[in-house]
Amino acid sequence: GAGVSQSPSNKVTEKGKDVELRCDPISGHTALYWYRQSLGQGLEFLIYFQGNSAPDKSGLPSDRFSAERTGGSVSTLTIQRTQQEDSAVYLCASSLEGFYGYTFGSGTRLTVV
């Protein structure tokens, strides 16, 4: 597509439920990134994919967080047993091979109640 697409744009979930956030990168972009933006923490790196593999998942805050990427394209970020501190905007970005700066999506605003 023309840009990075994320869905849903907004998600409200009850504490303890699992959620899945989806990212469709720009066609042909081999690298995909997940970031989290919250009031107290600013923009935090979560995980980076090159193709379908994740050479750097150092930013995932706990084992409740996982992500996968299939076909070198769509990625899903899953948060299990959501907690209130997981409330944030989850941003996805993609880039061409090499590192020329990302293109970000509009994000998914997750609210855990």
Partner 1 sequence: AQKVTQAQTEISVVEKEDVTLDCVYETRDTTYYLFWYKQPPSGELVFLIRRNSFDEQNEISGRYSWNFQKSTSSFNFTITASQVVDSAVYFCALSEAGFQKLVFGTGTRLLVSP
Rounded distance between C-alpha atoms, residue 60 and residue 20, angstroms: 15
Q: Which of 26, 48, 60, 73 contacts partner 1 by CB under 8 A?
A: 48
Query: What is the edge-to-edge ordering of all strands in the sheet holding 75-79?
Result: 5-7, 19-24, 75-79, 65-69
Residue whose CB is less far from partner 1, 74 or 96: 96
Rounded distance between C-alpha atoms, residue 19 and residue 29, angstroms: 25
Q: Which part of the chain contacts partner 1 (CB under 8 A), choosing from 14-22, 55-63, 65-73, 74-82?
A: 55-63
List binders of partner 1 among 68-107 (CB under 8 A).
89, 91, 93, 99-107
CB of residue 93 vs partner 1: minimum separation in angstroms? 8
CB of residue 33 vs partner 1: minimum separation in angstroms? 7
Residue whose CB is less far from partner 1, 15 or 58: 58
CA distances from 36 to 44, 55, 65, 71, 93 (A): 5, 18, 12, 24, 11
Binding site for partner 1 (CB under 8 A): 31, 33, 35, 42-43, 45, 48, 50, 55-56, 59, 89, 91, 93, 99-107
